[in-house]
Every structure is written in C-alpha cells, then in structure tokens.
C-alpha cells in the first residue's frame, strides 16, 4: 500500500509538479514509509502535521480531502446548513493563506457559503465570528505554537467551540470513505464570488469582537485615567495578535505599549525564536532587552494564532520573572473573582473551569471565595464544552477558564482560549494593583501562596516520533498502568485516576470501596494525586509526537517545594525508562 500511494503521488498529473519532484527526490525508505503508511488523522479538533508531500503530511491535497469530509457533513444539514456557511481564518505560517483558499473553494464547489477573512486573524476571533455570523462551522489554518515545519487545520461548530465528537466522527467517516486522492478540484475563485459563495470579511467583525472584549474590563475609567502609567512591551511573535492586541489596549487607554520591532511583522520562519511559543523563556529574549530599555512593568507575548499569552513581570529589584501558565491563570482568577465580589457583581452561580492538568491552587482559591469549580480533561475544547453545558442547564455562570499551557478565557462570546482577552485582563490587573494597592502581580501571587500554600508546577515532554514513537507511548501508558505505584520520591499518593479505563482508586483513607467511577470522558491519561494536594499526570499529546508529564507539588516553603518537584520528576522518569528498557532524553 505504501509503495502504491507513493507511486500515485509521485507520478499522477493531478498532483502538481513541485509535489511530484519533491517525492521523486526522496531516497530514504523510512521517510517514504512515514509519509505514506497512514493518512494524517482527523482528530478531535482537526489536523496538524509537518508541511510536506504525502498522505501523512500537511499539504493542499490533504486539506482538500479533509474539507470535502466537512462539506459532506454540512450537506447532511441540508440547504439551511449550506446557506449558514463556514467562516475561515488563518495565521502567518507557511501555506496558511493557500490552505484557507483551498478549503474555501472546495466548500464553494459543494454549494456551501464561505466567509473568508481578508488577512490573518487570531483563532479566538474565528470562534467569535462563527457565533456572530451564525455560521454552521468554522475553520482556522494554524499550528498554534508548534515549530515552523508544522501547520494545522482546526474545525469549529456553530456554537463557536471546536467541533464536537459526534460531528468530528462524522467528518472523519466521510474522509475515510473517500478512497480516491485524485478527484477533488476546487471551484475557481471568480466563479465562487460570482455565485455569492465566497464573501470577504474583516473590519465589521473586528469592531464587534473588540467591543465585547472591552466590555470585560472591570475598571475602564481607571484605564482611561492611568493606563499610560503602565509600561508594556508586547510581541506578537510574528503572528496574528499584532493588530488586535495593540488596538484593544490602546482603545482602553494603555498607550505606553512598545512593540518588539523584530517580531512585529508576519514571518513564516519565525526567524527570531527557536519556537514561537511564549511558554519558552528564550522567546522573551528580545522583549526583555526592550523591557530593560523602557523600564517596562510588563512583557506580553502571544503565539502565532494569538490564542495563548505569555507574561513576564518586573520585580522589585528591577529583574524580569516569567510567570507559568498556572500562575497567570491563578492571578486572573483571583483578580476577576475578588474584584467582582468587591463590586457586588459576582454571580451566585459563579463558576471557574480548569483542566485536570492545571494547578489545584485555583480550586482552593475559588472555593474559598465562594465560587464553584469544574475540572475537565486537558484541552481547551473541554472548557468551552463545559461552559456551554452549564449555560444550557442553568447550573453555573462561567467567570473564567484556564489551562496550564497558557490558555485563558473570560466572557461568553468566545468558545476557545483567547490571547487578546488575556492580554487586556493581565494589563488591567497589573494596573489595578499598581495604582490601588502598590503591588506588582508577583507580590499579589506571593500573597496568594502565603494564604493557600506554595504550589510549584512543571512539565516535561519527551518526543517520540513516527510509528515506533507511537508504539513506545502506548508501552509507557500500559507499563505505568500495570505498575504498583504508591508514592513518588517518598511522597504518598492519595489516589490514582485512570481516565482511559474511567476508574479511580483510593490508596489512603479507611473506606470499604477503594475504587470509583470517573465521570469525565475516556482519555489516555493517568493522574496520581498526592495526599495534601498536588499531582503527577501522564498523557500522550493529541497534536504532537510527544508524551507529556505534568508535576504539581504543594508545600509551605518555596525552595523545599522546588527541590521536591525535581526528585518526583526523576523518580517518574526512572520508572518510564525501566518500562522502555532504555534511558530517556528529556
């Protein structure tokens, strides 16, 4: 099958000359195998992969086939679904605009209306646009914070959230049912426009979106009066956040914003950073340089599709400290909940939603402030789904949601993580504490730790590529599941939750039944909860060839907590090495 596919793609005239020549130049049989041994999988949210020719890569032919699967699914909703149409956005990556065009014209070929943005836009604005235009679905072409070699294709549904499981499965079924690779041709752009099937959108949606972002401000008067006193250095990391992040800050009154000039414009090679990921400290090197020049209070960076936000704060000694995703999430949760409470506008059904990979500190803080907490599986789509469920059942009023991987959301008008909203809220929180309480965000965080205990979190990822890597990930999960683990680095465990089997087991406490059923959906996750707070969690990534290990340690002294985390990590990785029978590079 591999050789047949390779022959088809490297010889058939349906594939452009560049594709055929790229494939014919390959001499590595393992590379050919990896490109053709499977189709790039349409997962829970869509596709993500390396840009190259082949069925297991990202290219226009894979985009066409996936889009035809989406078109077949929308056609099942009849003329109403087809007329409601699909909104398409894209970021600054290689081939993003080309992929967006291909998707638009395949949909148009199927008689489905398409709204295509006139330039690159943040992913959260795509979520908003689906709701605003009352579309049937949405597509965003992005690989978020992945390396430059990647691109992706994310599908959203009519509520603005990532495509739900039932529809995702249906799209996948349609893709799988289409055996031929050579029978999909997009409609010509001029024909699509002449038939009213391709419509360009832009400024109207920007204005509507930004208006709602600004409505989330708790103290707009403070921003207008004192916003210029907060010095901010911002980097869009060559991506889609540049225009809207700057615009919302400026319109609210944050006029002392310096944009990193080397990272302001789109650059598909992300040439100033190793990875365009605001989680990585070196991503802020240029921002730190300009921060020191400007004596900035705050450094902000959004990833290429501007759904994630990284934050660096200047401490009392004038040095810059980067916050983790958990710390940003805790600070924003504390700011929003405590200030709404003080203003008398906190809903009696106020709810915080976070993932099981995110810090337990948020649970302790929210519950203390009288806010209910919902924990969901890793992935922001689950936060958005829970928000929708609470809204429909009248069981909660969503205030804030976050995940440890730099994803944050407030408000009811977007159904995905939003770096634009997060940037505005971080700026407002920093200004409020600076002007009203004479604290930096770092000092506020320390106050939170003093009250609820010190939590220190970290994540380690191990890259395991290709077919062999996939098998090794499965081996690790199976080996851990079969191991009798009662502690890490001598710290006793309270319980183990196995989300693949959907069974939890209590390891401490005098209860007759040690096992219990987990209510969250099935997922390849093992979570080990420590007695007294904190956890270790293991999960293969759904979008990258990596297995991820999450660590959260609670204690009373910061240095002790950090030392303990290192010991816990080494213990877990030693267990994983034993399962694989080899040492790990991490």
CATH code, domain carrying 416: 3.40.120.10
Same domain, 461 and 432: no
Same domain, 446 and 543: no
Residue with tokens 């969250």: 520
Domain ranges, residue 519:
454-580
144 close to 278: Cβ distance less than 8 angstroms: no
pLDDT of residue 274: 87
Q: Which of 431, 452, 473 is the last residue of a domain?
A: 452
Same domain, 484 and 390: no
Provide CB contacts within 8 A for 277, sequence distance 6+. Answer: 145, 283, 303, 308
pLDDT of residue 532: 85
Same domain, 154 and 254: no
Residue 6 lies in a domain: no
- Mapped onto helix, strand or coil, the DSSP state of residue 232 is strand
Digit-coded pLDDT (tens) for 34-73: 999 999 999 878 999 999 999 999 999 999 999 999 999 9
Q: Which of 201, 228, 248 is the last residue of a domain?
A: 201
Same domain, 236 and 276: yes
pTM of the model: 0.95
Q: Which of 158, 185, 201 is the last residue of a domain?
A: 201
Residue 23 lies in a domain: no
Q: Is 172 a residue of the active site?
A: no
pLDDT of residue 512: 65
% helix / strand / coil in the chain, to the nearest 5? 45, 20, 35
pLDDT of residue 586: 59
Same domain, 146 and 238: no
Residue 339 lies in a domain: yes
529 close to 363: Cβ distance less than 8 angstroms: no
> Per the structure block, which two tokens stand in for 541?
């990534």
In DSSP terms, which residues pair with 153 in a beta bridge?
A: 47, 141
Same domain, 331 and 377: yes
Same domain, 189 and 87: yes
Same domain, 192 and 307: no
Residue 391 lies in a domain: yes
Catalytic entry in 10, 144, 217, 552: 144
Nearest to 125 by CA among 248, 224, 219: 248
How high is the mean pLDDT in each 10-residue block of the chain (586 residues)? 95 98 96 96 89 98 98 98 98 97 98 98 98 98 93 97 94 96 97 98 98 98 98 98 98 98 96 93 97 97 97 95 98 98 97 97 95 95 95 95 97 98 98 97 97 94 88 95 94 95 88 86 95 94 86 92 96 94 76
Same domain, 292 and 384: yes
Same domain, 266 and 141: no
Residue 586 lies in a domain: no
CATH number at residue 486: 3.30.310.50
Nearest to 89 by CA among 129, 139, 124: 139
Same domain, 427 and 468: no
Instruction: Say how many domains are in the chain.
Output: 3
Residue 373 lies in a domain: yes
């Amino acid at each position: 099958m591999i050789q047949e596919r390779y022959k088809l793609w490297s010889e058939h005239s349906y594939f452009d000359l560049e594709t055929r020549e790229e494939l014919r130049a390959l001499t590595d049989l393992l590379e050919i195998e990896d490109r053709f041994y499977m189709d790039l999988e349409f997962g829970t949210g869509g596709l993500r992969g390396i840009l190259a020719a082949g069925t297991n890569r990202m290219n226009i032919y894979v985009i066409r086939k996936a889009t035809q699967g989406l078109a077949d699914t929308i056609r099942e909703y009849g003329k109403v679904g087809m007329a409601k149409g699909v909104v398409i956005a894209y970021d600054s990556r290689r081939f993003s605009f080309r992929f967006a065009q291909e998707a638009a014209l395949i949909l148009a070929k199927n008689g489905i209306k398409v709204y295509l943005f006139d330039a690159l836009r943040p992913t959260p604005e795509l979520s908003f646009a689906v709701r605003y235009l009352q579309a049937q679905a949405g597509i965003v072409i992005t690989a978020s914070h992945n390396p430059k070699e990647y691109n992706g294709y994310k599908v959203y549904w009519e509520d603005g959230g990532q495509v739900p499981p039932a529809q995702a499965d249906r799209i996948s079924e349609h893709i799988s049912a289409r055996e031929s690779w050579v029978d999909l041709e997009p409609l010509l752009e001029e024909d699509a426009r002449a038939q009213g099937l391709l419509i360009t959108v832009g400024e109207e949606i920007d204005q509507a979106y930004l208006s709602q972002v600004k409505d989330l401000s708790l103290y707009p008067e403070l921003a207008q009066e004192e916003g210029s006193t907060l010095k901010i250095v911002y980097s869009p990391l060559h991506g889609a956040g540049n225009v809207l992040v700057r615009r919302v800050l400026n319109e609210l009154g944050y006029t002392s914003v310096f944009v990193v000039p080397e990272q302001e414009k789109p650059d598909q090679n992300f040439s100033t950073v190793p990875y365009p990921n605001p989680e990585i400290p070196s991503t802020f090197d240029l921002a730190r340089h300009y921060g020191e020049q400007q004596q900035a209070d705050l450094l902000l960076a959004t990833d290429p599709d501007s759904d994630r936000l990284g934050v660096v704060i200047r401490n009392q000694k004038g040095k810059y400290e980067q916050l983790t995703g958990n710390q940003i999430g805790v600070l924003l949760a504390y700011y929003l909940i405590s200030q709404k409470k003080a203003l008398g506008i906190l809903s009696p059904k106020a709810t915080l939603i976070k993932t099981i990979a995110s810090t337990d500190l948020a649970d302790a803080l929210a519950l203390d402030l009288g806010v209910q907490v919902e924990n969901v599986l890793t992935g922001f789509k689950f936060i958005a789904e829970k928000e929708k469920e609470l809204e429909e059942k009248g069981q909660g009023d969503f205030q804030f949601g976050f995940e440890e991987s730099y994803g944050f959301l407030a408000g009811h008008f977007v159904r995905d993580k939003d770096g634009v909203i997060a940037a505005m809220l971080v700026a407002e929180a920093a200004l409020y504490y600076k002007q009203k309480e004479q604290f930096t965000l770092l000092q506020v965080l320390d106050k939170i730790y003093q009250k609820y205990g010190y939590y220190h979190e970290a994540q380690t990822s191990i890259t395991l590529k290709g077919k062999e890597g996939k098998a090794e990930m499965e081996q690790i999960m199976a080996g851990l599941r079969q191991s009798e683990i009662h502690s890490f680095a001598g710290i006793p465990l309270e319980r183990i939750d196995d989300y693949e089997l959907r069974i939890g087991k209590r390891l401490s406490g005098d209860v007759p039944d040690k096992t219990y059923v987990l209510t969250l959906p099935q997922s390849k996750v093992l979570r080990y909860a420590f007695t007294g707070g904190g956890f270790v969690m293991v999960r293969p990534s759904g979008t990258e060839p990596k297995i991820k290990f999450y660590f959260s340690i609670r204690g009373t002294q910061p240095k002790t907590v950090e030392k303990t985390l290192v010991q816990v990590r080494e213990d877990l990785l030693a267990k994983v090495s034993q399962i694989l029978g080899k040492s790990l590079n991490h």
